[in-house]
């Protein structure tokens, strides 16, 4: 992990990391415990690092500002690959499913939209400036936000 990556990971400045590494200052506060853990178990950095994107579409399933699941999608080949960043099944995009298929991905998208059977759906689609019901297009407009929870989806193309 580079100094810049460590600074981003710990949410401190680059100069703070340089200061710590040069031995000019002591690490204090709650970050001290995390820094020690990372020194003893550097493999944790690899586990939490966001992998390079291989396919054209990536979705981040978020809770507030925390990444819960990264979903990589190859739409042409109808393939899905995920990486969970939590052990809590309720916070994972696909729960206990580790290798979802494309159908499960489509079901997940629809679960983050208003239902197809919604009363006056055409009015809602008109408000979103969408010609028809398509879960992905709806999520692009709404970020998959629902009134009853704090989960949302960030799309990266």
Per residue in 27-79, pLDDT (tens digit) is 777 778 887 888 899 888 777 788 899 999 999 999 998 999 999 999 999 99
Measured from the Cβ of residue 45, the count of other Cβ atoms closer than 10 Å reads 13
**Average pLDDT of the residues in 77-102:** 97
Q: Whole-angstrom Cα distance, residue 83 to residue 87?
A: 11
Q: Which two tokens stand for residue 146?
A: 């629902």
63 in Cβ contact with 150 (< 8 Å): yes
Q: Which two tokens stand for residue 141?
A: 């407009």
What is the DSSP annotation of 69-124? EEEEEETTTTEEEEEES-S-GGGSTTTT-SS--HHHHHHHHHHTS--TT-TTHHHH
**Average pLDDT of the residues in 67-94:** 96
Q: Which residue has the higher pLDDT, 147 or 59?
A: 59
Task: Judge if pTM exceeds 0.85.
Answer: no
Strand partners, 81: 72
Determine the straight-line distance between the first and last CA of the chain, rounded to whole angstroms.
Answer: 26
């Amino acid at each position: 992990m580079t100094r810049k990556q460590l600074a981003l990971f710990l949410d401190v400045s680059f100069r703070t990391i340089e200061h710590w590494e040069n031995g000019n200052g002591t690490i204090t506060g709650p970050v001290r415990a995390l820094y020690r853990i990372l020194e003893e178990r550097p493999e944790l950095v690899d586990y939490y690092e966001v992998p390079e994107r291989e396919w054209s579409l990536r979705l981040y399933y978020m809770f507030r500002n925390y990444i819960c699941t990264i979903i990589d999608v190859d739409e042409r080949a109808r393939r899905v690959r995920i990486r969970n960043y939590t052990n809590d099944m309720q916070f994972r995009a696909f729960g206990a499913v580790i290798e979802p298929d494309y159908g499960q991905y489509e079901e997940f998208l629809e679960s983050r939209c208003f239902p197809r059977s919604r009363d006056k759906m055409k009015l809602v689609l008109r408000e979103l400036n969408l010609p028809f019901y398509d879960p992905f297009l709806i999520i692009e407009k709404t970020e998959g936000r629902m009134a009853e929870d704090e989960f949302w989806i960030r799309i990266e193309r």
